[in-house]
Structure 1
Amino acid sequence: MDKIEKTKSRDMIEEKYKWKIDKIYKNNQAFEEDLKKVKNYVSQIGNFSGKFGESTKLLEFYKLDEKASRILEKLLVYAHQRSDEDTGNNEFQILRSKIDSYFSEFSSAEAFFIPEILALPEGTIEREIKELPELKMYEFALNDILKMKPHILSKSEEKLLAGVSDCLEAPGNIFSMLSNADMTFPNITDEDGKKVELTEVKYSNYIKSKNREVRKKAFTTLFNTYGKYKNTFAEALSSSVKNFVFQSKVRKYNNSMESSLMPNDIPVAVYTNLVATINDRLQASMHRYVEIKKKLLNLDELHMYDLYVPIVDVPKEHIEFEDAVKIVKEGLKPLGEDYLKIFQEGIDNGWVDVFENKGKRGGAYSSGCYDTMPYVLLNYNYELNDVSTLAHEMGHSIHSHYSRENQPFIYSDYSLFCAEVASTTNECLLINHLINKEQNKEKKLYFINQQLEQIRTTVFRQVMFAEFEKVIHESIENGSPLSGDDYCKIWHELNVKYFGKNMVVDKEIDMEWARIPHFYSDFYVYQYATGYSAANSFCNMMLGEEKDAVSKYKGFLKSGSSDYPIEVLKRGGVDMTTPKPLEDTIDTFNKLLDMLEN
């Protein structure tokens, strides 16, 4: 009888493969001492309410708030990462719960700050900055608050909106409960002829199955089940959009898209140009991809359920973690010796928690704060995909390292618009390296297809999502309500447009809109496409050995949130207000298609 290999407990993992969380706090007692300290600071914060017109009070508030925030961030990182090491450890779960609930108290304690800044007589902030040179550092942050003044309501109105925030978030919560808790899917037959219960997680595997009947059955079963709840999903999504439209009108924006983009100073044209540029290039890129995939899979008809099946099988490789580090460093050589040195220091000094252990949180992420290491959680499983994940998460962490080393605390984080750029740049550099050095034809084909799929799903697919969002928001804003059938019709027509004549757009796909949680975070998905396009541009500039490309890129990494994201990227050499980064990404896609075809 075969011996079942059990998941190791955490104490069985070698220390060199664990992150060094004890660098934050040696034990829980040290954690509790810092918690007392932060509570003392927070108790003093309320004393500043109503006093920002007095000399020095604004600067004193910022200094005290920073002291409290920096300790609180350390407490949050420690508690969360201890908890993620072993989700079954009650001691760590209590620690996490304690600091999470206290964080809400802290947010409430400083909630007066922005309304009171906005209520100050005009010219007060400018005068205080002139009188106190130390306050100059906060000028960008203060101007960022002041520019929102036309969209801030009276105190009583703001209080009223805050009071109904839970109600306004209800549609997303209903979607989550329906799709994650209440919905169940029928059984299907897997590749081995066994009856298995279909779930969302299992679907992602079955849709890639080499057995066409398996992937077809998974596809039809999943979307027919969603179809039974079409009207409920439609009502939830319409309510979410109506809530967002309502808030944008109340806050005096021209439309809901402007209300989403304007706080980060992103022109609406960035969004609309993104959709227009992709639409202009669909035939020469996406439609061609579908045609080539159909040929390579040797199919008379390409259906929606054939889209994710790999065009070539490559035998699984067993890649030791140390070898993964070498492979990634080879791929990242264009970034220069100092970048590679930081990367290796991170590996050697306890940034990374490498292997799965019993109770450890799944997936991968980058974390940390201003006064800690930029930690990385992995669940390394010796596969090529894990090598790519290492490059991606270290991209986030080294971005954080550069940002925190070069910016004061207040500007040390980077915006959501820029968040995926550094991680994706690393992935682009790595896959380029793997394609160029590979001699084995099948494996080279596999790498080319991997990058094509990443661009297809991160750029073309996300822009299709973004176009859907644009259409449904504009429809509801113009007073035209949408039913479940309307959503299905819009989604069907978008799929026909994006995939072209060589794709059979099966009727089941019409319900796919109901599966996408991001539609409840308005105008969010377009940032996947902009992030990838910016990363591709940085990658091309560095690989093309463009003058100062590497130093400009590192300038971007060092900028944090010291300026608006468009400006931060522009200084790095990438202008997202023009179509060029996206057009360059489509050109990369087309070159990969040439390689695939040849």
Structure 2
Amino acid sequence: MERKDIRIEDTWDLSGLFADQAQFDAALEQAKATLAQLTQKQGHITETRESFRLFMDSQEALQRQCENLTVYAQMRADVEPEDPQVQQNLAKSVTFVNQVYAATTFIDQELIEHHQLVEDYLKQDDCADYRYPIQEIFRTIPHRPDAQTEQLLAQMNDLFQNPQKTFKAFVPEFKPVLIDGKEEFLNQAIMNQLLHNPDREIRKQAFEHFYEQYRRHQNVFCSTLIGHAQGQVLQARLHHFSSALQASLFEDGADVPLFQQVLDIANQKYHGAFWRYNELKKKLMGLDDCTSYDLNVPLVQSVDTHYDLDQCFEILDQALAPLGKEYQALLKRARTERWIDFYPHQGKRGGAYSWGTYDSNPFVMTNFTEGYDSLSTLAHELGHSMHSFFSHRANRPLLADYRIFVAEVASTVNEVLLNQYMLQHSDDPKVKASLLYNMLEQLVGTLYRQPMFAQFEVWLHQQLEAGQALSSSDLTDYYYKLNQDYYGPAVTVHELEKYKCYSVPHFYYNFYVYKYTIGMSVALSFASRILKGDTEDYLRFLTRGGSCAPIDQLIEAGADPRGEQVYNDAFRYFEETLDQFEKLMEEI
């Protein structure tokens, strides 16, 4: 399918950001003018409290302009990658943002040099909005390189981003899958769908055709992934951190003990329950040899799990009703005002995300295929969007954007509420079993799969920090062994599974994936309270944006991620759900 074949109503409308190319070009020129004005203030930021306030407001305006340019350009590129003008806009916006980064490195240093004076300004009510952002800058003082190194790092920013950009730009062409004598187009979204197919040969084709391309291009992906990790290691060292992991955690005010606690609980303490789940899968499928491409087959047959878009929004309206009428109204707006780009097509980026700017609607990109997973993904991404909407409405731009550390909470709350609603509104044991199965799959993906991914990330960075030379076979062999330990004795790990390490987008980010586990654990805590009618803490959490530290936001809302309780409750919830599922499967 090509984009021109999709109804306009089922694509997103980005015209609220820029209606045409002339507006984009004008905005870029205005941003350049703002940058020029800002850099002229170097050496004069803190001369008076008024000059400090005016500078902070100008910096906020520039960041807002940059965000509009880059988000618009990237989102257009994600769905129209072959349009030359789209690619040119993306290149222009990225280049400009890198110029901004390089030209404004003096800001933090100047504020730090006048630390005490700025602290005095921050005590005044008219500077209250700047307190948390400035305190975050001052927290970095022990990890500041000298001015010359800082300037060099700024100039190298584009180089550090190259691996991630290369990964996004390099989209392999996959051999089509033969279904009923007809060749079917294959991409990430379609492959995920076909892995649910009851025909084992189709699953095998989809899996092998997809990951064969990552095997074929393994040296490209290996170089890209190692290049990314090397960049993280170098930056961590130059910022006086003991490891890339510590540097990444520092940004969220987290620490290595919290990170390691998440991995230990998932990969050791409660891992036996996941092995038990895989053994049950093998038994229910009646397979002598259960392998990688068998694990996504719905274990409950003859259940209609297909929903068109109208049905999806009717269900979401009811499932998320406990969050209030305003929340429901926003879901309707997301559909009618075209916040969402729904369907997969040739060239479109795989997966799903929610994005946008302070000046735009929150947007969702998804690859909708009508299964329950598509409905759940829609709920997930709209959770992100609602979080952004409430955060932006409650805060000025400087304080509006929530940290990645808490980004998965709102999305996961929506998924949990959706599943609970579907369970409560079905009397059919097969439907209930199917829903329990889907919840188990979501829990596996967040409570178990992500900590396994995190273990791979830790290992990769530790090898580089120890000075080890790594080849593709080093990475893929370790990842293969990790998967064998992860799935347990019931599963034969397919040889091509080892190349999956090159296809995981978050490996080209920076220690992101463990936050999914925290997000799910905290979300289960919130969802339990929401279903009991206690929504106040959660709805307030959605408005906090970037106004205070993310861990403090969770503590304030009654879900402390530093203790074990939220994790113990989450993994026990998995065990209880597994017990319910196993019992139902014995009855049907």
- Please tell me the TM-score bracket, short chain as reference: 0.7 to 0.9
More displaced 10-residue stretch of structure 1: 282-291 or 65-74: 65-74
Q: CA deviation at 1:245?
A: 2.8
Query: Could you say which residue in structure 2 is the equivalent of 1:391?
Result: 379
Q: CA deviation at 1:434?
A: 0.8
Aligned-partner Cα distance in 2 for 1:218–1:238: 27
**Is 1:324 matched up with 2:292?**
no
| CA shift digits 1:564-596 (9 cap, x unpaired) | 211112212211112222222222221221122
Query: Could you say which residue in structure 1 is the equivalent of 2:149?
Result: 157
Query: Could you say which residue in structure 2 is the equivalent of 1:43?
Result: 36
Aligned-partner Cα distance in 1 for 2:202–2:309: 34
Q: Work out whether residues 553 and 573 of structure 1, in 8 Å CA contact, stay in contact via their aligned partners in 2.
A: no
| CA shift digits 1:64-107 (9 cap, x unpaired) | 22334445545556666677787777777766665555444444
**1:134 match: secondary structure:** helix
Query: Could you say which residue in structure 2 is the equivalent of 1:374?
Result: 362
**Is 1:352 matched up with 2:339?**
yes
TM-score, normalising length: structure 2: 0.85
Aligned-partner Cα distance in 2 for 1:217–1:66: 51
Of the candidates 550, 564, 569, which is equivalent to residue 579 of structure 1?
564
Equivalent residues in 2 for 1:218-297, closer than 5 Å: 219=207, 237-238=225-226, 240-297=228-285
Q: Work out whether residues 105 and 150 of structure 2, in 8 Å CA contact, stay in contact via their aligned partners in 1.
A: no
Aligned-partner Cα distance in 1 for 2:74–2:381: 17
Query: Could you say which residue in structure 1 is the equivalent of 2:586?
Result: none
**Is 1:138 matched up with 2:138?**
no
Aligned-partner Cα distance in 2 for 1:69–1:587: 43
Aligned-partner Cα distance in 2 for 1:86–1:317: 30
Q: CA deviation at 1:32?
A: 6.0
Instruction: Indicate the RMSD between aligned Cα atoms, in angstroms.
Output: 3.8
More displaced 10-residue stretch of structure 1: 40-49 or 264-273: 40-49
Aligned-partner Cα distance in 2 for 1:358–1:228: 24
Aligned-partner Cα distance in 1 for 2:395–2:165: 37
Query: Could you say which residue in structure 2 is the equivalent of 1:520?
Result: 508
Of the candidates 512, 522, 545, which is equivalent to residue 560 of structure 1?
545
**1:366 match: secondary structure:** strand
More displaced 10-residue stretch of structure 1: 62-71 or 198-207: 198-207
Structure 2: any 5+ residue segments left out of the alignment?
584-588
Q: Sequence identity of aligned pairs in percent?
A: 29
Q: Work out whether residues 223 and 509 of structure 1, in 8 Å CA contact, stay in contact via their aligned partners in 2.
A: yes
Aligned-partner Cα distance in 2 for 1:38–1:525: 34
**Is 1:551 matched up with 2:536?**
yes
Q: CA deviation at 1:305?
A: 2.9
**1:559 match: secondary structure:** coil
Q: CA deviation at 1:431?
A: 1.3
Q: CA deviation at 1:437?
A: 1.3
Aligned-partner Cα distance in 1 for 2:166–2:267: 33
Aligned-partner Cα distance in 1 for 2:253–2:406: 13
| CA shift digits 1:354-382 (9 cap, x unpaired) | 66599995665433322333344566665
More displaced 10-residue stretch of structure 1: 287-296 or 483-492: 483-492
Q: CA deviation at 1:259?
A: 1.1
Q: Work out whether residues 304 and 506 of structure 1, in 8 Å CA contact, stay in contact via their aligned partners in 2.
A: yes
Residues 380/515 of structure 1: CA separation in 2 closer, same or farther (3 Å cut): closer
Query: Could you say which residue in structure 2 is the equivalent of 1:413?
Result: 401
Query: Could you say which residue in structure 1 is the equivalent of 2:524?
Result: 536
Amino acid at match of 2:147: K
Residues 111/242 of structure 1: CA separation in 2 closer, same or farther (3 Å cut): closer
Q: CA deviation at 1:428?
A: 1.2
TM-score, normalising length: structure 1: 0.84
Aligned-partner Cα distance in 1 for 2:99–2:76: 22
**Matched residues, number:** 581
More displaced 10-residue stretch of structure 1: 374-383 or 108-117: 374-383
Query: Could you say which residue in structure 1 is the equivalent of 2:56?
Result: 62
**1:535 match: secondary structure:** helix
More displaced 10-residue stretch of structure 1: 333-342 or 29-38: 29-38
Q: Work out whether residues 87 and 359 of structure 1, in 8 Å CA contact, stay in contact via their aligned partners in 2.
A: no
Amino acid at match of 2:316: V
Q: CA deviation at 1:534?
A: 2.0
Equivalent residues in 2 for 1:495-506, closer than 5 Å: 495-506=483-494
Q: CA deviation at 1:344?
A: 3.7
Aligned-partner Cα distance in 1 for 2:384–2:352: 11
Aligned-partner Cα distance in 2 for 1:233–1:50: 44
Q: CA deviation at 1:251?
A: 1.9
Equivalent residues in 2 for 1:298-309, closer than 5 Å: 298-309=286-297
Larger radius of gyration: 1
Aligned-partner Cα distance in 2 for 1:427–1:151: 38
Q: CA deviation at 1:340?
A: 2.4
Query: Could you say which residue in structure 1 is the equivalent of 2:121?
Result: 128
**2:45 match: secondary structure:** coil
Q: Work out whether residues 469 and 523 of structure 1, in 8 Å CA contact, stay in contact via their aligned partners in 2.
A: yes
Residues 578/226 of structure 1: CA separation in 2 closer, same or farther (3 Å cut): same
Q: Work out whether residues 392 and 427 of structure 1, in 8 Å CA contact, stay in contact via their aligned partners in 2.
A: yes
Amino acid at match of 2:543: K
Structure 1: any 5+ residue segments left out of the alignment?
none
Equivalent residues in 2 for 1:344-493, closer than 5 Å: 344-347=332-335, 350=337, 352-353=339-340, 364-377=352-365, 383-482=371-470, 484-493=472-481
More displaced 10-residue stretch of structure 1: 530-539 or 138-147: 530-539
Residues 72/175 of structure 1: CA separation in 2 closer, same or farther (3 Å cut): closer
Aligned-partner Cα distance in 1 for 2:271–2:550: 31
Aligned-partner Cα distance in 1 for 2:144–2:276: 48
Residues 27/327 of structure 1: CA separation in 2 closer, same or farther (3 Å cut): same
Aligned-partner Cα distance in 2 for 1:357–1:276: 37
